[in-house]
Structures are given as C-alpha cells and as structure tokens.
Amino acid sequence: MTDVEINKVYTGTVKKIMEYGAFVNIVPGKDGLVHISQIKNERVENVSDEMSEGDQVKVKVLAIDDQGRVKLTMKDLD
C-alpha cells in the first residue's frame, strides 16, 4: 500500500456520500473522509449537492489518526 502523506494534495474518487461528509479514495486501498465542514468555506447543507459518487475531486490530507483513518479537506486548494 502506498503511504499517505499529511499536507499532500491528491486527486481522488468519491466512493460514498454520507450525511456528514464523503469518503474519497486517494491511493489504492486507502480512503479518507472529507467532513461536511471541510468541503468548502461556505456552509454546505447537503454533501450530495456538492459531489456525487464517482466524481474526481482534489483533496488535501489534514491528519491521520492512530487507527489509520485519514481526514481530508477540499478547502483552499484552488
């Protein structure tokens, strides 16, 4: 498995839309979560209004927790 680097920007594929955010595959075998508050600077009501499963999105790795869960952001990447 490819290592995921904090602060690195990846182009990933949206795998699953949830009420609280979206899971994005950033490297083979590794998904991260873009929390609804990290999609854009403005308030987002519905994740599905901003993206759909299968979309390609640019994300930056914010953190990786002790269990290997990856936290992502889509803010300030333009």
User: For every one of its 78 residues, what pLDDT tens digit does the chain have, with 9 covering 90 and above?
Assistant: 568 999 999 999 999 999 999 999 999 999 999 999 999 999 999 999 999 999 999 999 999 999 999 999 999 886
pLDDT of residue 4: 94
Its CATH class, for the domain covering 9-73, is mainly beta
pLDDT of residue 3: 86
Q: What angle do CA 11, 24, 36 make, to 5 degrees?
A: 110
